[in-house]
Amino acid sequence: MIRIENISFAYRKGRKQVFRNFHADLNLGGIYGLLGKNGSGKSTLLQLMAGLITPSEGRILLDDKDMRNRSVTSLQKLFLVPEEFSMPAVSLDQYVRYMAPFYPRFSAETLKRALDCFELSEDLHLERLSMGQRKKAFVSFALAANTEWLLLDEPTNGLDIPGKSQFRKILVQEMNDERGVIISTHQVLDVEHLLDHVLVIDQGQMLLQKSVEEICEILSFVRTSEPEVLRRAIYQMPSLQGMSALLPNDDGRESSLDLELLFNALMEKREEVCRLFSAPNRSNQA
């Protein structure tokens, strides 16, 4: 489990705090979607979890060990794929030889499966790849590292059209109950159907931390142009077929999650949406 315990963080003393008294608990066995506007701190949060930077107050615990210590056992348990990264000018083979020993559960079979899925050959040279290919190669290595936690910062950025679909396939295939994945993204359509949990951060706080199942129990996402339905909507935005509308789920029928609608509603009608989740007759365990 990753416990983010009331952390505060600013890049420099006296500068605006990215997080203030921020708290979250993340459990293995789920794919988390981390959403937030530009500059809301998504990448900062992933770097904090990975121990690359440390909070000024509070702690981040990975299985009860403080990430601040960057102990080998903690670092072995997670892998971060940043949005932008550089790779050494070596062959993939050499890269694996240098890097795999840091990850005790590294799986050569997973690497092969992932490269196959991305239609990359195994004898590639990292320097001679395009940006998208490097991302595919790095994501493949990250999956093969077989760490408990996999933190992916905008993983679909730079991927070509088949690449996005290949990414979803291989991630679902390699996912299991002993792994946790956190995907930070703006490309909500790329990951919408992959998620178990949604995390929305804004202004240094966790605005929403719920499972997709809970969200769909409490909210309905509909496309309609019927005025009676729209009158009950908390938030609506124009779409090709009438309006996309967010409503309280009153009849218990489940609809399919529309992440863009949910996100926009949270930004525009924060209190109304959050009130529904904290209503007393609902259980609100994340």
Partner 1 sequence: MIFKEGKPIYAQIADRIEDDILNGKYQEEARIPSVREFAALMEVNANTTMRAYEMLQNRNIIYMKRGIGYFVSTGARELVLDNRKNVFIGEDLNSFFHEIYTLGIPIEEITSLYQEYVQSMEATKKLMEEEGWS
Q: Does 28 bind partner 1 (CB under 8 A)?
A: no
Q: Which residue, 54 or 255, is less far from partner 1 as judged by CB?
A: 255
Q: How far apart are CA 62 and CA 51, in angstroms?
A: 10
Nearest 10 degrees: CA dihedral of 108, 109, 112, 117?
Answer: -140
* Number of residues that make up the chain: 286
Q: How far is the CB of 90 from partner 1 (least distance, A)?
A: 31
| Contact pattern for partner 1 over residues 29 through 68, marking x by CB under 8 A | --x-------------------------------------
105, 125, 193, 282: residue in contact with partner 1 (rule CB under 8 A): 193
93, 119, 226, 254: residue in contact with partner 1 (rule CB under 8 A): 254
Most distant CA atoms of the chain, gap in Å:
63
Cβ neighbours for 269, distance < 8 A, ≥ 6 positions apart = 234, 235
> How far, in Å, are 180, 211, 218, 281 from residue 252 at the CA level?
29, 16, 8, 14
216, 229, 234, 267: residue in contact with partner 1 (rule CB under 8 A): 216
Q: How far apart are CA 167 and CA 169, in angstroms?
A: 5
Q: Does 195 bind partner 1 (CB under 8 A)?
A: yes
Residue 31, beta-bridge partner list: 181
Q: How far is the CB of 117 from partner 1 (least distance, A)?
A: 9
Q: Does 198 bind partner 1 (CB under 8 A)?
A: no
Q: How far is the CB of 212 from partner 1 (least distance, A)?
A: 8
Eight-class DSSP state of 192? G
Q: Does 223 bind partner 1 (CB under 8 A)?
A: yes
7, 62, 222, 245: residue in contact with partner 1 (rule CB under 8 A): 222
196, 202, 260, 272: residue in contact with partner 1 (rule CB under 8 A): 196
Find out whether 284 and 214 touch, Cβ atoms under 8 Å.
Answer: yes
Cβ neighbours for 116, distance < 8 A, ≥ 6 positions apart = none
Residues in contact with partner 1 by CB under 8 A are 31, 165, 168-170, 172-173, 175, 193-196, 212, 216, 221-223, 241, 254-256, 258
